[in-house]
Amino acid sequence: MENIAVIDAGPLIALFDKSDTYHQKVKHRLEEYRKDVHGRLITTWPIITEVTYILEAHVHLEAQLDFLKWIILGGLEMFDLTREHLSRIIELQKKYSSLPMDFADATLLIGAEALDTTKVFSLDKDFSIYRMLGKRHMENLMKE
């Protein structure tokens, strides 16, 4: 069985923003995951959009470009959403409206369900609350 984890925007931003509090921790965890278990990192286009916007607006353009080059070199794979996924996104956003669950987080949960993985890299505590189909818990690989 493949070792797959979905990855949220927070760790990706921290990885490419050397001044971020979580930079070293994220870098270490991702290196460990890639080397020790040969894990694949997968995200969605909404997460990519969020990361590129924040890196350009709050860090600098070079950080954004480094992130995109890293993807080109195979640092990250994308899960492609389809129109059929929108119903599940709506269902999830309604279910977790009190948190609230944003669109990007919903797409990550859908990607995890489709790829049959419970592993996530996130700096958000919300992933400990979210439940996948079958009421499965997410395992946050950034957790202490």
* pLDDT tens string 29-63: 999 998 878 889 999 999 999 999 999 999 999 99
* pLDDT tens string 91-140: 999 999 999 899 999 999 999 999 999 999 999 999 999 999 889 999 99
Residues near 28 by beta carbon (within 8 Å), at least 6 away in sequence: none
Residue 12 near residue 67, CB atoms below 8 Å: yes
pLDDT of residue 144 exceeding 90, the answer is no
pLDDT of residue 75 exceeding 70, the answer is yes
Task: Tell me the C-alpha distance between 14 and 2, whole Å.
Answer: 26
Q: What are phi and psi of 4, to 5 degrees?
A: -120, 140
Q: What is the pLDDT of residue 100?
A: 86
More confident site: 135 or 22: 22
The answer, as to whether pTM is greater than 0.85, is: yes
Q: What domains, with CATH codes, occur in the chain?
A: 4-140 (3.40.50.1010)
